Amino acid sequence: MDITELLLNWYSENKRLLPWRESDNPYHIWISEIILQQTRVEQGLAYYHRFVDAFPDVFALAAAPAEKVLRLWQGLGYYSRARNLHQAANQIVSDHNGKLPDNYKDWINIKGVGSYTAAAIASICFNEPIPALDGNVMRILTRLFAVDQPVNKSATKKLLYDLTMEIIPQDKPGDFNQAMMDFGSMVCKPARPLCASCVLSHTCHAFQSDTVYKYPRKEPKKPVRKRFFHYFFFFYPARDNEMRFFVQKRTGNDIWKNMYELPLLETKEPINRENLLNDPWWKANRIDSTNLLLNGQVLEMKHLLTHQRIFASFYQIRVDGVTKNRLAKQHLSVNLHEFETLAKPALIERYIKQMNV
């Protein structure tokens, strides 16, 4: 048997039972593929169920407030995926009358949909024979064919695409692409691949030459950027001794866009308390820092992103009436219950759960 037949036979006996595989509804496949970008299936399952329950079709997703979409996405990270998903739903409703595309060419023009996702949807839902190349699939291919070129180079991806076009079946492209996804996750794993029980080992160049761990080859990663965040939990008692505090919405093209956080001062390097209180940030916000008193200990946290490492310091500061009024001109005042309903980075949520006011 050839590679394709062996792989499809393996898939028929070992495929993962996943809710979006119970139908060929392109909406469900689309939602699942966006969620599973940079996310393990085990983690993504709960989010998938929440999303399709809250937004059962593209019209419901398009009509939802952006903040609700972000709130349901909270904890998954890579929040641009959620923003793009929401924008894409509006694009499909406005430009396609709510009809989801039925081919690769049209899917690739939808906001946030790359070549892998477009190929997955087109092959699974519409039987279009086009390879879906993600990290799992490219790892299998580089080992099978001993492709000793960096997989993060466009020329290598083109080579792997061409190799896959030679083996993808015209009648079952969706099953083939899903088989490759599962095989890469369950057998041809990054570490400790199950070569001894692999149905493709006899035709795998890497296994036959005992060089499995040589593949896939990648170019060196970008250096990790260090960032120093100083968050201020400015709080004050309101009616019935209810505690309220100030938050702000992130804007621009930085991380966590459109999510809520505490007022933030970012510095280029670690800074001591004296220099922190003398920073021009206070004057820009018209706050007299000389009268501020820290409430309790400064809490330090680290937060890791793909190419960034955030060193966050959290300061609890009870504010007087003058400072409260000045903060209110630029920030949103909330209580803990109100803040719970807002979309926020996991870092901020971790702090709120640990704080002691």
Q: What is the per-residue pLDDT for 1?
A: 63
pLDDT at 281: 92
The token pair that represents 169 in the structure block: 């079946």
* DSSP codes, 132-145: ---HHHHHHHHHHT
Domain boundaries, the chain: 3-214, 225-354
Structure confidence at residue 167 (pLDDT):
94
Residues in the chain predicted with pLDDT less than 70, given as ranges, are 1, 356-357
Q: Which residues contact 54 (CB under 8 A, 6 or more apart)?
A: 60, 64, 68, 72
- Do the Cβ atoms of 180 and 132 come closer than 8 Å? yes
Helix (H, G, I), strand (E, B) or coil at 295: coil
| pLDDT tens-digit readout, 86-109 | 999 999 999 999 999 999 999 999
Q: What is the pTM of this model?
A: 0.74
Check if 33 is active-site.
yes
Return the pLDDT at 222. 78
- Between 1.10.10.10, 1.10.340.30, 2.60.40.1930, 3.40.50.720, what CATH number should domain 3-214 receive? 1.10.340.30
Identify whether the C-beta of residue 139 lies closer than 8 Å to the C-beta of residue 215: yes
The pLDDT assigned to 356 comes to 57
pLDDT digits (tens, 9 = 90+) for 282-315: 988 888 887 777 777 889 999 998 889 999 999 9
Tell me, what DSSP letter sits at residue 290? G
> CA–CA distance from 61 to each of 52, 56, 86, 102 (Å)?
9, 8, 7, 19
Taking CA atoms, 355 is separated from 75, 189, 233, 351, in Å, by 19, 40, 10, 6
pLDDT of residue 353: 86
Please determine, looking at this structure, whether the domain spanning 225-354 carries the CATH number 3.40.50.300.
Answer: no
Strand pairing partners for 313? 230, 300
List the one residue out of 219, 202, 85 whose CA is nearest residue 144: 202
What pLDDT is attached to residue 17? 93
Active-site choice (33, 266, 300, 340): 33
pLDDT digits (tens, 9 = 90+) for 179-222: 999 999 999 999 999 999 999 999 999 999 999 999 999 887 77
Which residues 6+ apart lie within 8 Å of 280 measured at CB?
A: none
